[in-house]
Structures are given as C-alpha cells and as structure tokens.
C-alpha cells in the first residue's frame, strides 16, 4: 500500500512558494515515510549587488536505533542566488529538506467484541 500527498502553496504576491510531498508505503515488512519540502523566497534588492548574501549550509543527520528497530535520515540544504530582470535585481533564498523514516511494518490486529457473542 502506498499513500501520496502533494502540496503546492504560493503566496498572493508570488514571492514565496512552498512545495511539499509525503509518501507513506508498506513494502516487504518495512513501513517507510518520506517527506520532501522545497521553500523558495524571492526578495527584490534593487540595483545594488553589494547586499549581503546568506551563507549556504548543508545538514545531514542519520539516526539508527537497533532496539526500537528505527532508522531515520534527514538532509537540509539552504542556499541563495542572485537573479536579474531588466534593471531589477532579486535575491532568491531556498531550502530543500528530505526526511526518511523506516520502521518495521505492524501486522494487522483484529479486535473481537466479546460482548456481542
């Protein structure tokens, strides 16, 4: 079984956009949850190219718990770039994130109502 969810949100002035997806799957005894996010923010900075640009960063984290049979992975990338349109200069800030969680699949449990017997 696989469940997919997509979201695409854009601000009214079209300067902020969030795209996210979530995937939940049960396959070969493993329950996996994968979440992806992309956030983009556009700022007009005029014609001055001396505006400070944020430093890029990358964060990677992996967690493994053998007792709980849990495996997690996350990655976050932040960056920025300049773009021009005619005489106008824009600063585009973005962030990508990916989170993966793997756990053992829980077997279906049937519950019987003994009061109806």
Q: What is the DSSP string of the chain?
A: -EEEEEEEEE-TTSSEEEEEEEEEEEETTEEEEEEEEEEEEEEEEET-TTS--PPPEEEEEEEEETTTTEEEEEEEEEEEEEEEETTEEEEEEEEEEEEEEEEEPPPP-----GGG-
pLDDT in tens, 50-89: 667 778 999 999 999 888 888 999 999 999 988 888 888 8
DSSP state of 110: -
Q: Rounded distance, CA 70 to CA 75, Å?
A: 17
pLDDT in tens, 94-111: 999 999 998 887 666 555
Domain ranges of the chain: 2-116
Would you say 95 and 19 are in contact if contact means Cβ atoms under 8 Å apart? no
Secondary structure (3-state) at 48? coil
pLDDT in tens, 8-37: 888 888 788 889 999 988 888 888 899 999
């Amino acid at each position: 079984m696989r469940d997919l969810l997509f979201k695409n949100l854009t601000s009214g002035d079209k300067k902020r956009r969030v795209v996210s997806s979530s995937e939940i799957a049960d396959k070969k005894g493993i329950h996996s949850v994968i979440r992806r996010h992309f956030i983009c923010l556009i700022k007009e900075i005029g014609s001055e190219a001396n505006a400070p640009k944020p430093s890029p960063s990358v964060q990677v984290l992996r967690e493994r718990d053998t007792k709980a049979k849990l495996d997690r992975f996350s990655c976050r990338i932040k960056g920025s770039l300049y773009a021009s349109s005619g005489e106008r200069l824009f600063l585009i800030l973005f962030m990508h994130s990916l989170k993966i969680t793997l756990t053992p699949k829980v077997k279906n449990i049937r519950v019987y109502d003994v009061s109806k017997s």
